[in-house]
Structures are given as structure tokens and as C-alpha cells.
Structure 1
């Protein structure tokens, strides 16, 4: 099982360069970073975990800039977003960012796709939270057109792009889909709570699921695999990568029994000394 990590990197924590170097030297598989552009102080949206919102949510580094630093000082470390708030981005610019990071890292990038829980943050970006899933689906289709091998136009409900020269291309080869154009782009995992819409989105435009905390994986896997096969996707099913997991030997053994090959462990949003102590504790799982 591959053991990756995630952390809220901020202006007060360990730096991206130091963390990336330590992760690669210690043998961890990857680093995933979350995204929040800002947190409006009105705080009308409740924190999904309950209680007050932790301060690191309003201090996060831009994940693409931080991961670019991590890519420059490592050779093997996987790099991912956990997650990118796709609806809050211009899709043409985001397609370029993702393809560039994948290219300069030698194909090590994973695009984690999320829909967002903070309505005030989304509203400042002009996003109607009620339509966010449809917006993300449309954005992903537009980006796939820019990632295609040949100039490809796209016209959707929320955006369009003319057939264009758009390089660099993501490193990962297109994935076949029965009755549909190949799936282009970097490795893509969709985060969120299991439900019919989420499972359909995974099967349509992603390579797998990024369940936060690993909740509901065993119950959801059979249905996810059924939806995957009905969508004409090859193989036994999508990748499932439990995310932001607080580990224990029993929990990781359970994931292994389910056939899960990668788990992302949560690191504290802390200074260098505390983060390195946590990595020492997690070393038993490598």
C-alpha cells in the first residue's frame, strides 16, 4: 500500500520545500494539498466537521504554487490537490496550470476535484452553490478539450473554448471509454460524499474517488464498481484513495482487504518540528 500525506500548508507551518524533501527521503509516496482562496468572515456556512472553523482554512497556501516548489526539489514524490475547487477557477487557466505542473514534474500530478462546502467563498467567485456540481462537470469537459491531442472545441452550459493549440499536454496517456472519446488529462480523483450524482461523475470524467476520512468505502465500493462498468470504463473499477485519514494498523489492514492501494494520511498544520515528529510516528506504516 502506498502511503501519501496531506496537510494545510500555511504561512505559519513547515514550508513546502522542507516537507517535500522530508517526505521523499523517508519513503512516503506523495503530498496532497487543499485549496481555499479565502474564507469570508460572515461564516454563514457551517464547518462540515462541526464546531468552529480551524484558523488554517483562511491561511492556506495556493496549492499549485506550493506543489511547484515541491516538484522542483524532489524526483519521485507524487503531487496532488486534495482538493481543487474547480468551480471557482477559470477552466482555461486551470487546464494550463494542471498540465504544466504535470509536465514539469514528469507526470507526478494528481488533480483532486472538489465541489466546495463554503457558500460564501463560492459566491465571491460568482458560483451558485446549488449548481456547483453541474459547473464542475462542465469545467472538466472544457479542460479535457484543451488536453486533447488535437485542437478540440467545446461548448457547454457554463463555458466554451474554440479549437486551440494548448501545450504542454498532461503526461498521462488518454484512458479509453466505451462509446465515448478517451479521457484526457492528469490522474483525476473526485472527492465528496457518496451518492448517485457523485458516482456518476467519477465514472464519467475521473480515475477514482477520494473519500474524506475513508468513511463509507466498504459500503460504497460495490455500487461504484457497478456504475463504473455501466459507463463503459475498463477494468474492475476506479481507484479509491481514502483521504485525510488518521491511521491505525487495523484501519489500514481493512483498506488493504478491500483492495485499496493508496491511503492519504493527515498531517497537523504545524511547524517543522511537530510535522517531523508526526512523520516519525507514521513511519511504522511505510
Structure 2
């Protein structure tokens, strides 16, 4: 884990006993399944959050649009969009939350992730998951009962492909006895973050991943979970959570719950973030979808009034 302190994305977003702030794409407040902004408007906001000094941008992976799910997830392929975003930004970490490893071949994943890490100047944070949209598994002819083992296989294979030249890899789905996967990440590795339990034990995740993305919970439950995570980890492994926000124009407005978060003024938000920092959360990813204000206004206020309390790492 110590070698990731020289990884630009990891070092920008994660430090022990410190909380930093990022966003989930799209950077937009909207109703329904599909965002409304065109790509250039979105990239303008991507550049804005980078220039204001936020730590990260994350994007979801939804290979198949399921109209019954109620949310497209993200319109574009996450790897392609993050590569495009990398060309328009300088410092911000670029992450996936999370790639559905069960529906992609591990060797393709290894090459794509290593390419993005190199093209982004080592800013890629590789969030991985088993998938939660039921129609995807029959579409790809993948047995959902095998999600756990496919997840483990993907991580094991990718790490070997990144680290070794001309690796010999033999699994149930791979027989690699010749050739190599290039390019290699500059560190011979990429920060991998699990999402939820992904059908694994907390001990397995602590041993084989470099950080953990978990769902929002009340502070006592989150504190208990982070304690278990820290005890299972031999070194610092960041804990990341999303929070959906509808930031009020009134700084003192009291919170009202919404799905995945709350509507509130910035003063409550600052105290909320301080409490979760004290509980051990290292990074919060803002979800702007349920907001009532234009995303540009929300980002501006967060950058000017909230970010100074939780600065990104230099």
C-alpha cells in the first residue's frame, strides 16, 4: 500500500485521518433516468471541479440499460469517458464506482485499466463490483450465482498481469501460456477499491483490495463498520462513501432526508462531514442528481464554502 503514496490519484484523494471530497458523474441535477446536459456542458463542469481543487470524479458502470431500474447509471462507457476527462483535467483523481467485473474478461480489464492509468498520468482509482442489475446476467449468459468467484478471479488475474512480464495464468476461464498484457502500470499495480461486500468476507477484501467503497449509513453503524475494516487491514486502506445532496440556498436550513442522503444548508453539511471524518471516513463522493438547484451553483458553493474544511491532498 505504501507504494500508492506516489500514485497521483490515490495520493490526491486519500490520507489517513483526513476526509476529502469528490463527485459522482454526471455533474447534473435531473429527474428521470437520463441526464439532460450535452457532453461539452458536462466537460466544462468537469474542468471546474478540477480547477476548484476537489479530489475526485467517479463514474458508474451500467453495461445494459434496464428501464425498470429507474436510472441509466451513466450514459457513456466509463473507461472511454474517464480517458476523455483525463485529457481535460490536470490533478483530480478519476475513478470507477464501480466496474462490473463479472461481465467483462479479466485480461481486457487489465489492459484497459493499465492504459487509462498511463494516459491519465496515474490518476485512475479502479472501483470494482459484482453488479446489481438483474437483466445483465442473462443477457451476457453469466450465472449470477458465480458472481463471487468471478470477482475474485478478476482481481487475481489483473494483479498478476500488471506485475509480471509474460505471466502464466491458468484459471477456469483463462489459459495464458504465451504473450503479455501491455502497457504495464508504472507502479506495476493500480489501486483497486471493492464496492460493498461483493460476496466476499471483509478479511478477503482487506487482503486483496486497497480501499473500500460502502453505502451511506447512520454514523454509529458506519463507525462500527470502519473499525472492523481497520482491524482487518494491516495498513491504511481508505474508506469511501457516497452521499446524495440537495444543497439549499439557505446556509442554515435543517436537514430533510432524501434517498441516499439529505437536503440541507451548507452549515449542517459541514458538521455532518466533520462527524464522518471523525468516524474514519476518508472520502465522500457527492451525488448531485436529486438537487433542485443547477449543478453549477451547487458546485460553486461547495467549492467556496465547504471544500476549505476538507482540502484535497497536495
Q: TM-score range by the shorter chain?
A: 0.7 to 0.9
- Tell me the SS of whatever aligns to 2:75: coil
Of 209, 212, 219 in structure 1, the residue corresponding to residue 212 of structure 2 is 209
**Cα pair distance change 1:160/1:137, threshold 3 Å:** farther
Deviations along 1:64-97, one digit per CA (max 9) or x if unpaired, are 1110110001110110001111111111111111
Aligned: 1:97 with 2:112: yes
In structure 2, the CA distance between the partners of 1:244 and 1:115, relative to structure 1 (3 Å rule), is: farther
Q: Distance in 2 between matches of 1:257 and 1:244?
A: 16
Question: Which residue, out of 262, 277, 295, partners 1:275?
Answer: 295
Report how many aligned residue pairs link the two structures. 256
TM-score when scaled to structure 2? Answer: 0.73
Q: Is 1:54 aligned with 2:70?
A: yes
> Cα offset for 1:269?
7.9
Q: CA deviation at 1:4?
A: 0.9
Q: Is the contact made by 1:7 and 1:269 (CA closer than 8 Å) also made in structure 2? A: no
Task: Tell me whether 64-73 or 250-259 shows the greater mean CA deviation.
Answer: 250-259
Distance 1:141 1:193 in 2: 17
Structure 2 vs 1, CA of residues 55 and 159 (structure 1 numbering), >3 Å: closer, same or farther?
same
Q: 2:52 aligns with which of 26, 40, 43?
A: 26
Q: CA deviation at 1:214?
A: 5.1
Distance 2:281 2:53 in 1: 19
Inter-partner Cα distance in structure 2 for 1:90 and 1:198: 23
Aligned equivalent of 2:227, options 210, 217, 222:
222
**What SS class does the counterpart of residue 146 from structure 1 fall into?**
helix
Runs of 4 or more off by more than 6 Å in structure 1? none
Q: Do the aligned partners of 2:193 and 2:210 also contact (CA within 8 Å) in 1? A: yes
CA distance in 2, matches of 1:267, 1:158: 39
Aligned to 2:90: 75
Q: Which residue in the other structure is 2:5 paired with?
A: none
**CA shift in 2, pair 1:148/1:269, >3 Å:** farther
Q: CA RMSD in A?
A: 2.6
Paired residue secondary structure (2:273): helix
* CA positional deviation for 1:193: 4.9
Correspondence 1:84 to 2:84: no
Q: CA–CA distance in 1 between the matches of 2:150 and 2:85?
A: 30
Q: What is the distance in 2 between the residues matched to 1:160 and 1:264?
A: 38
Distance 1:8 1:25 in 2: 17
CA shift in 2, pair 1:214/1:161, >3 Å: farther
Unaligned runs of 5+ in 1: 44-52, 174-183, 230-234
Q: Are 1:7 and 2:25 counterparts?
A: yes
Q: Distance in 2 between matches of 1:193 and 1:285?
A: 31
- Is the CA contact (8 Å cut-off) linking 1:212 and 1:245 kept in structure 2? no
CA offset digits 1:164-209 (Å, max 9, x no partner):
32221123x3xxxxxxxxxx531111111598x2413422321010
- Comparing both chains, which one has the higher relative contact order based on Cα–Cα distances under 8 Å and sequence gaps of 6 or more? 2
Runs of 5+ consecutive residues of structure 2 not aligned to the other structure: 1-18, 28-33, 246-260, 262-268, 308-314
Cα drift, residue 250 of structure 1? 2.6
